[in-house]
Amino acid sequence: MDEALLLVHNELLDTNLSVYWNSECCYHCLYQVLVNVSRSRKPGKPSIAAVAVSTQHGSFLQLMDTLDEREVCRLEYKFGEFGNYSLLVKRLQNGVNEVACDIVVNENPIDSNLPVSIAFLVGLALIIAISFLRFLLSLDDFNNWISKAINSRETDRLINSDLGSPSRADALSVDAQSETWRPSAPLHRLRCVDTFRGIALILMVFVNYGGGKYWYFKHASWNGLTVADLVFPWFVFIMGSSIFLSMTSILQRGSSKLKLLWKIAWRSFLLICMGIVIVNPNYCLGPLSWDKVRIPGVLQRLGATYFVVAVLELLFAKPVPENCASERSCFSLRDITLSWPQWLFILMLESVWLGLTFFLPVPGCPTGYLGPGGIGDLGKYPNCTGGAAGYVDRLLLGDNHLYQHPSSNVLYHTEVAYDPEGVLGTINSIVMAFLGVQAGKILLYYKDQTKDILIRFTVWCCVLGLISVALTKISENEGFIPVNKNLWSISYVTTLSSFAFFILLILYPVVDVKGLWTGAPFYYPGMNSILVYVGHEVFKNYFPFQWKLGDNQSHKEHLIQNIVATAFWVLIAYVLYRKKVFWKI
């Protein structure tokens, strides 16, 4: 899979060849030995060596004279999956020292992306067919549609999930002597928030199951973005929105801050424990004892992020101004200025990340190093993966408690343990969640003011996008701070937050204002996020989520298996929704 056959024909009578290889996606990498080919024994009788080459990205090939290490020729080529190619190396007849290197196709490759295209078209056809069917049903049985809508609202009132049940609270009054929270009318649930969470979650399940073994459904080796790099930060972002909306609803119902603080601490503790004990990728190494357990992880980061952001909002919680929806003063930055203590804390926290990342001395590594180590940077810093981020994790947690197979190992051949959910990255995860809190405040402070909400979403999208442009110089590797999921760099946070505001800009009017889309099927797993996430990790090796494939080297079979497994979790979430079963922690 993701490989082609390359036959190297050496027709040179006096030269043994060493063929070196490098991927176009491996930034400033050392060339790696691909194959050695002996010299030709007779004219017209080339020496031939066969080797497998990667087809995921374009390849650079460098042919060197083995004895005097002189470069013979250099090529750039994009091989196709399961293709058969020949690299012909021979001297030109009109030049004694001129060598020609040509690649010819012996057998055409397959179109490995065809199954993805077909799956997309089939999914689009199903969406159109279901939408049309729903439209017909609504015309024929309008009363039944009203009944279903009422039942749906009754179900919504029962939910107050662990990562926040987003509700839009009615206006709260401010007492002349002190701030108080008063009960209000029944709350209207924001479906766009659950829908967004469900989109992120279902994409996360799909890529965790393998994504058809396509490279763009796997995490980037270092800098840059793939589909897999989008989902976790979006989940963190929407968790932040839910934290604020849910907390406002709970305080509005008269709950004490002390009781809520205990609930926040308990939920965070449970998330961290589930991550360490239940969803721990180091189990693939065999039965574990404490000295081999991975301490960081997705749920661990969610737990820590949830705790910090929720406590921060709880400490400085204020009633929403009653007149915010009607006065022109709300066209100012009230949704930001009322949260100045939180913003001050977040800016201080980000200063800590910047200070440690760029000024912390790391033994044997350049200060401020953001590279992958290994063969990157021409192999100068092989054990410096992640710079300060990797050093802090190894110092605080130890090598054995980190992720043992980081994505940087694929292209950069790194040998040190590195955890993409490490300590320093959690700081920027908190920043990401707080930007989600800001989205929640916009939805609450300007409730029923659709134009104001959309304007603010647009402004945030553009501002964060411009910050990303400045930090990255619109480059994958050459910017001041590249977009990097392994580091959770600040440019990664601003870029993905910009995308998140844009998605809400689309979802809010379509789902909540106009009601053009119910959010199905993403809405259902979005309502049971922890159950779906933990369940898909625990049962991923069980039927019907996985079965023996007829051809393990087929993208098509892997893709079908992963789509079916993901669809099962959507179905499970739907059934639980209809049964009014929601897992809370």
Q: Could you please report the per-residue DSSP string of 306-338? A: HHHHHHHHHHT--PPPTTTTT-GGGGSSHHHHT
Q: What is the Cβ-side half-sphere exposure of residue 378, based on CA atoms within 13 angstroms?
A: 0
- In whole angstroms, give the CA distance from residue 438 to residue 432: 10
Dihedral angle sign, alpha carbons of residues 537, 190, 496, 128: positive
Q: State both tokens at 471.
A: 């930090």
Element (H, E) at 526: helix 523-527
Peptide bond just before 544 cis, omega within 30 deg: yes
Torsion, Cα 215 220 225 231, to 10 degrees, reads 80
- Residues forming a β-bridge with 23: 59
Residue located via tokens 């993403």: 522
* 170: helix, strand or coil: coil
What distance in Å separates the CA atoms of residue 220 and residue 218, rounded to the nearest whole number? 6
Rounded-to-integer distance, Cα 286 and Cα 459, Å: 49
Catalytic residue, from 9, 57, 219, 401: name it: 219
Residue reference for tokens 């979650």: 201
Return the H-helix or E-strand segment holding 199. Answer: helix 191-208
- Contact yes or no for 443/450 (Cβ under 8 A): no
- Cα–Cα distance for residue pair 397/407, rounded to 1 Å: 20
At 498, phi and psi to the nearest 5?
A: -60, -45
- Residues 361, 468: Cα–Cα separation, whole Å: 26
- Asked if 260 and 247 touch (Cβ cutoff 8 Å), the reply is yes
Distance of alpha carbon 5 from alpha carbon 555, whole angstroms? 18
Question: Is residue 521 within 8 Å of residue 574, measured between CB atoms?
Answer: yes
Cα separation, 403 vs 281, whole angstroms: 8
Q: Which residue has the tokens 């049903």?
A: 137
- CA-angle at 558, arms to 556 and 564, nearest 5°: 100
Q: Which residues pair with 48 in a beta bridge?
A: 9
User: Is 188 part of the annotated catalytic residue set?
Assistant: no
Burial of residue 380 (CB within 10 Å: 0-12, 13-18, 19+) is middle
- Which residues are designated catalytic? 219
